[in-house]
Structure 1
Amino acid sequence: MTQPGTTFSMDDPAFVERVLKARARRLAAARREAAPVSQGLSVLCFQVAGEAYALPLDSLAEVLPLPPVTPVPGLPQSLLGVTNVRGEIRPVFNLHDMLTLPEPEAGQRCFAVFLRAPGRPVGLRVNEMRRIIRLDSEQLTFPHESGNGLPQRFIRGISPDTLILLDPQQILAQDVLQDRRADYRRSL
């Protein structure tokens, strides 16, 4: 050990040797066992009408404060409308309607969670953003079918702490997103 107040210099061969030996001991020491990496599914948590929901991170394109949405006449109520994101027109769905939940209050700040979809991302209106967590998919329970079956169609599972994991494939499989022009051309 050195005495307090002692100064060291890189010109001092004894000091350099002590530093190099300490470094060599540290590098030669056995590595500690690495902590196991948590297996599971990374999800983005958010709120819709006071309930906690999540979507897998690998299915998301981006999250933005909800831009102005233009309603599209003649389309289902589950489609809130379309919005312009950096010059690209994107559909935005009303999760409140799809999940049969009460609508947010007028003027309430909302967000758009955009799912990766063939062609262009598809938005979902949500109330609040929460956090990103890892879910153990083996601990998910699956909702039982109810009389109408509609909301359960979009649910992939429920965590022990009642976080509802939505199924992006089911959301993207809605008829309103299907391009019927190809079907029309084939029928001619």
Structure 2
Amino acid sequence: MNKTILSLALSASTMLASAGAMAADGSITFTGKVLTASCQIEGGDSTAGGAISVAMPQVGMNNFVSGAPIAPKDFKLKLKGATGNCLSTGEVYSLDIEDGDVSTYGNVKNAAVTTPAEGVEVQLSMAGVPLDLKKEDAIKFPATTTGEEEIDLTASLIAQDASKVKQGEINAVANFMVIQN
């Protein structure tokens, strides 16, 4: 019986000692802003409810060279507010593409379901520089005072290994969010 009481006493004193070790030494406060209206997005060949469509040209399998982009298609993303600026003037923003849409090479994956072209991805570039979409801030731009931002991009088809390209459909989707850096 004495052993049981001693054991309970030791357990209780251990619990009290560890409670003291959990005292707070500081705090972290997270702040942010929820906007009443987000940006309206337009661009490409057509726009429907923020979904931008860019029609890529048809190419032959033998046109691919490993690691070289082909069939470039220029397009613009336009961000504007329903009632004025949707972005804060002077701030820097980026488009963050969802990880599941990006290949290990930093390109947009081909997600065609029925008869997908194999070995082909869509590479995005800005001002002639290929973008690594695995990076959160790959597509960066400053907000100006115009109330509308235009981002000039180029989409190209690319195969990392041209010998693995097979004919089929291309349906590469890049879901993104506009983030203030």
> Does TM, scored on the shorter chain, surpass 0.5?
no
Return the structure number with greater helix share. 1
Normalising by structure 2, report the TM-score: 0.26
